[in-house]
């Protein structure tokens, strides 16, 4: 289910075109507009969930399976030395877009990423 006026609904469902690293029926993996490091991506479910509290188990499991694939691909192709997975829920936790998303942030020696 899409939500009107949700930017991540539009991006994940192709209503607004964007470069995708990966896409299937359930998720789209897009590049963050303001990357914390080279290769920073967001995993977006195509259905709208405000946050982790409203997610169903099947979507949650799929998101994490895709995160594992993306992590392995980053390790092989980007030359990163590690990565952070970040998933913010609620304004107090730093959530700014209220459509569930998981950040995958590659880490490089000497980078200045603040998580």
Which residues are known to be catalytic?
101
Q: Which of residues 38-57 bind ligand 5GP (CB under 6 A)?
A: 42
Tell me which of 28, 48, 101, 103 binds Zn ion, using CB under 5 A: 48
Q: Which is nearer to Zn ion, 1 or 112 (CB)?
A: 1
Query: Which element (helix H / strand E) includes 12?
Result: helix 7-12
Q: What's the Cα-to-Cα distance from 36 to each of 28, 87, 104, rounded to whole Å?
A: 19, 14, 10
Q: Does the protein bind ligand 5GP through residue 34 (CB under 6 A)? A: yes
Give Cβ neighbours of residue 71 (< 8 Å, ≥ 6 apart): 83, 85, 104
Q: Which residues of this protein are in contact with ligand 5GP, per CB under 6 A? A: 7, 11, 30-34, 42, 88, 94-97
């Amino acid at each position: 289910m899409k939500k009107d006026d949700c930017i991540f609904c539009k991006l994940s469902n192709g209503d607004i075109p964007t470069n995708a690293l990966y896409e299937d029926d359930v998720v789209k993996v897009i590049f963050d507009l303001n990357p914390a490091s080279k290769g920073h991506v967001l995993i977006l479910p195509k259905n709208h969930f405000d946050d982790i509290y409203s997610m169903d188990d099947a979507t949650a499991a799929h998101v994490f399976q895709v995160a594992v694939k993306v992590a392995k691909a980053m390790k092989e192709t980007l030359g990163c030395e590690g990565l952070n997975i970040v998933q913010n829920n609620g304004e107090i936790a730093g959530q700014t877009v209220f459509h569930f998303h998981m950040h995958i942030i590659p880490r490089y020696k000497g980078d200045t990423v603040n998580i």
